[in-house]
Amino acid sequence: MKFMLMMHAPRGTGDYQINSWSPEDFQAHIAFMNQLNKELTESGELVGCQGLTPPGEAKIVRAGENGMPAVTDGPFPESKEFLVGYWIVDVDSAERAYEIAARASAAPGPGGVPLNMPIEVRQVMAGRPEIE
Amino acid sequence: MTPESRLDDVGRLLRDLAPQVLGAIARRHGDFAEAEDAVQEALIAAAQRWPAEGVPRNPRGWLYHVALRRLTDHLRSELARRRREDAVAAEVWADWAFIPPPDAEIPADRDDTLVLLFMCCHPALTPPSAIALTLRAVGGLTTAEIAAAFLVPEATMAQRISRAKQSIRASGVPFAMPTPAERAERLRSVLHVLYLMFNEGYTASSGPHLHRPDLSGEAIRLARMLHELVPDEPEVAGLLALMLLTDARRAARTGPHGELIPLDEQDRTLWDRALIEEGTALLEAALARGAVGPYQVQAAIAALHDEAPSTDETDWPQILALYDLLRRMSDNPMVELNRAIAAAMVHGPAKGLELLDALAADKRIAGHYRIDAVRAHLLERAGDRERALAHYRAAAAGTRNIPERNHLIAKAARLAARERELEDAEP
């Protein structure tokens, strides 16, 4: 059986909650996460895991007119009432991700009417460090 | 020999032979896309059989034979489909029906590998497509390996490569050397793709990813191959030197838990002296030719860092002079940013901050987290802890790399802790 485990930060600041911690607390947190991932890898249970860019960068995309993406900064529903599936796409730009989200948003519902589902778009952390 | 090392040896051999075999077949067949598919199938067959059955006496001939067999199988079914439509089919088939035996010497042409590189790094392709196609067609990696390197499913990578080949076919580039008029620009494009591939090797994602091929290592291998093919091109040597001089610091760049260690905090005894020597020698020979380009200048900067026993003992005036030279060659705000750091090391943080202010007006880089990171560092050196803290946090929110984000948050946390201590110490 596969499960998706979602890590949430407190709402409001739009930032990572770890930002204001003491150096010791922060290092302990990172060490814990590394250890957890290592254990899950060694036990053969890890399928994949990703960190996301800060919550403040989250966007909500719906299909707008003519299927064009309508991108807004919210409102964000509670995940409990909301999350039913996900895609991870590897694209050349955020705009392309919004386009795909708009297509998904317009999936047909009863009577073929587009559902206009809100799709939350978050960028996966995967870049090159610029600091040498 | 252990089974693992035999597997490694077979992998290495296949990667070396791949471009030679593909070059020979593409030249004979003319259709790069079909030839590339056939060679990929032959490589997969060899990877399955050779470790158990042993490497054949003439491995290149074997691959050529098997790839050609696959290609004719495809062609045969294609011809059967349009048998009645095409009168020349029989004629074409007569030519293709002959397949040399596996131990036959195959026609080899040194230029084939170079032609392949020019083709796979064609400016019509987007950089990610060019990197993927180069890794497969010239690097001899399997689609599964390339997919693992980019952390995407194999089917996705297969599609990306197939679309790249369609773009090449649509652009009508023949399997041949570029004309002398085009050559310089096409070579620049090859160097750019190899440079990006090398950088891609730095990309660290959040999760632990086992068996991820080492893209920096592949880029170095391909740059070495290219340098052997065109030893008289100083910028090729410059790029290879830059890669070696940068890769020499690899062991010191990350801590035991994957944390990022910046240059000024690295344990320099961990730097790879052999790579530094090789890179420096390459660079000196290239510079002696007198056609200095941006890769050679960047390699020269890397060499100065590699030679220095510490950040303080680094020849910053010379590095600043090299950045001045580099900015005259390329109008790139990232060069300006690095120049600001060098200027701060030579003339003090105030000078660096002044240059940053000017740079922040450049639309191409305005709002980039790297400006915040550098500003934070310079403010910290200037003793302005409060503003440094704000910029470290802004930089942490802007980066797309987890070890780098963690590094920036840790910097901010240490600054904040020191600030609190100082406040507590006051009566």
Cα separation of B49 and B287, whole Å? 46
pLDDT digits (tens, 9 = 90+) for A105-130: 988 888 888 888 888 898 888 776 66
The answer to whether B262 faces chain A, any CB pair under 8 Å, is yes
- Place A11 in a pLDDT band, splitting at 50, 70 and 90: low
Q: Please report how many Cα atoms fall inside a 13 Å half-sphere around the Cα of residue A49, on the Cβ side.
A: 19
Q: A6-20, B201-215, B389-403: which range is least confident on average?
A: B201-215
Element (H, E) at A120: strand A119-121
Establish if A27 belongs to a structural domain. Answer: no
Cα separation of A37 and A31, whole Å? 10
Cβ-Cβ contacts under 8 Å, A16 against chain B = 396-397, 409
- Place B44 in a pLDDT band, splitting at 50, 70 and 90: very high
Residues of A with a Cβ under 8 Å from any B Cβ are 15-16, 18-23, 26-27, 30-31, 34, 37-38, 41, 46, 48-51, 53-54, 56, 90, 92, 123-132
Element (H, E) at A100: helix A94-105
The predicted pLDDT at position B240 comes to 98
Q: How large is the average pLDDT for residues B129-150?
A: 91
Establish if A114 belongs to a structural domain. Answer: yes
CB contact under 8 A, B400 and A125: yes
Higher pLDDT, B193 or B95: B193
Establish if A36 belongs to a structural domain. Answer: no
The predicted pLDDT at position B92 comes to 52
- Place B226 in a pLDDT band, splitting at 50, 70 and 90: very high
The answer to whether B396 faces chain A, any CB pair under 8 Å, is yes
The predicted pLDDT at position B124 comes to 87
The predicted pLDDT at position B210 comes to 46
Q: A43-57, B325-339, B409-423: which range is least confident on average?
A: A43-57
Cβ-Cβ contacts under 8 Å, A49 against chain B = 206-207
Residue B415: exposed, middle, or buried by beta-carbon count in 10 A (0-12, 13-18, 19+)?
buried
**Is the backbone peptide bond immediately before A75 cis, with ω within 30 degrees of 0?**
yes
- Place B105 in a pLDDT band, splitting at 50, 70 and 90: low
- Place B205 in a pLDDT band, splitting at 50, 70 and 90: very low
- For residue B413, give the chain A residue with the closest CA: A23
Asked if B141 contacts B134 with a C-beta cutoff of 8 angstroms, the reply is no
Asked if B139 contacts B222 with a C-beta cutoff of 8 angstroms, the reply is yes
Q: Which of B206, B257, B403 sits opposite A129 (nearest CB)?
A: B403
Range of the domain at A67: 55-121
Count CB atoms within 10 A of the CB of residue A105.
22
Cβ-Cβ contacts under 8 Å, B199 against chain A = 128
CB contact under 8 A, B262 and A50: no
Cα separation of B425 and B316, whole Å? 37
- Place B38 in a pLDDT band, splitting at 50, 70 and 90: very high
Q: B18-27, B198-207, B371-380: which range is least confident on average?
A: B198-207
Q: Which of A15, A26, A30 sits opposite B397 (nearest CB)?
A: A15
Q: What is the mean pLDDT of chain A?
A: 82
The CA distance from B13 to the nearest CA of chain A, in Å, is: 30
Count CB atoms within 10 A of the CB of residue B297.
24
Q: Which of A27, A34, A128 sits opposite B202 (nearest CB)?
A: A128
CB contact under 8 A, B203 and A123: no
CB contact under 8 A, B152 and A127: no
Q: How large is the average pLDDT for residues B361-380?
A: 92
| B161: its two tokens | 């490569």
Three-state SS for chain B is CCHHHHHHHHHHHHHHHHHHHHHHHHHHHCCHHHHHHHHHHHHHHHHHHHHHHCCCCCHHHHHHHHHHHHHHHHHHHHHHHCCCCCCCHHHHHHHHCCCCCCCCCCCCCHHHHHHHHHHHCCCCCCHHHHHHHHHHHCCCCCHHHHHHHHCCCHHHHHHHHHHHHHHHHHHCCCCCCCCHHHHHHHHHHHHHHHHHHHHHCCCCCCCCCCCCCCHHHHHHHHHHHHHHHCCCCHHHHHHHHHHHHHHCCHHHHECCCCCECCHHHCCHHHCCHHHHHHHHHHHHHHHCCCCCCHHHHHHHHHHHHHHCCCCCCCCHHHHHHHHHHHHHHCCCHHHHHHHHHHHHHHHCHHHHHHHHHHHCCCCCCCCCHHHHHHHHHHHHHHCCHHHHHHHHHHHHHHCCCHHHHHHHHHHHHHHHHHHHHHHHHCC
Q: What is the mean pLDDT of chain B?
A: 88
The CA distance from A111 to the nearest CA of chain B, in Å, is: 33
Q: How large is the average pLDDT for residues A44-65?
A: 85
Q: Which of B156, B257, B399 sits opposite A31 (nearest CB)?
A: B257
CB contact under 8 A, B263 and A50: no
The angle subtended at Cα B376 by Cα B374 and Cα B379, nearest 5°, is 110
List residues bridging with A59 in a β-sheet.
A121
pLDDT at B161 over 70: yes
Cβ-Cβ contacts under 8 Å, A36 against chain B = none
The predicted pLDDT at position B427 comes to 63
Q: Which of B200, B206, B416 sits opposite A51 (nearest CB)?
A: B206
The predicted pLDDT at position B13 comes to 92
Q: B157-171, B268-282, B283-297: which range is least confident on average?
A: B157-171
| Percentage above 90 pLDDT, chain B | 60
Q: Which of B208, B259, B397 sits opposite A41 (nearest CB)?
A: B208
pLDDT at B213 over 80: no
pLDDT at B390 over 80: yes
Establish if A104 belongs to a structural domain. Answer: yes
| B240: its two tokens | 């290879």
pLDDT at B292 over 90: yes
The predicted pLDDT at position A80 comes to 59
pLDDT at B303 over 90: yes
Establish if A82 belongs to a structural domain. Answer: yes
pLDDT digits (tens, 9 = 90+) for A32-54: 888 888 888 778 787 888 888 88
The predicted pLDDT at position B79 comes to 74
Asked if A57 contacts A121 with a C-beta cutoff of 8 angstroms, the reply is no
Q: Which of B208, B370, B403 sits opposite A37 (nearest CB)?
A: B208
pLDDT digits (tens, 9 = 90+) for B58-98: 999 999 999 999 998 888 887 777 665 555 555 555 555 55
Cβ-Cβ contacts under 8 Å, A30 against chain B = 257, 259, 406
CB contact under 8 A, B399 and A46: no
The predicted pLDDT at position B414 comes to 92
Higher pLDDT, A20 or B102: A20
The predicted pLDDT at position B165 comes to 92
The predicted pLDDT at position B321 comes to 98
CB contact under 8 A, A127 and B258: no
Indicate the number of domains in chain A: 1
Cβ-Cβ contacts under 8 Å, B416 against chain A = 20, 22
CB contact under 8 A, B207 and A37: yes
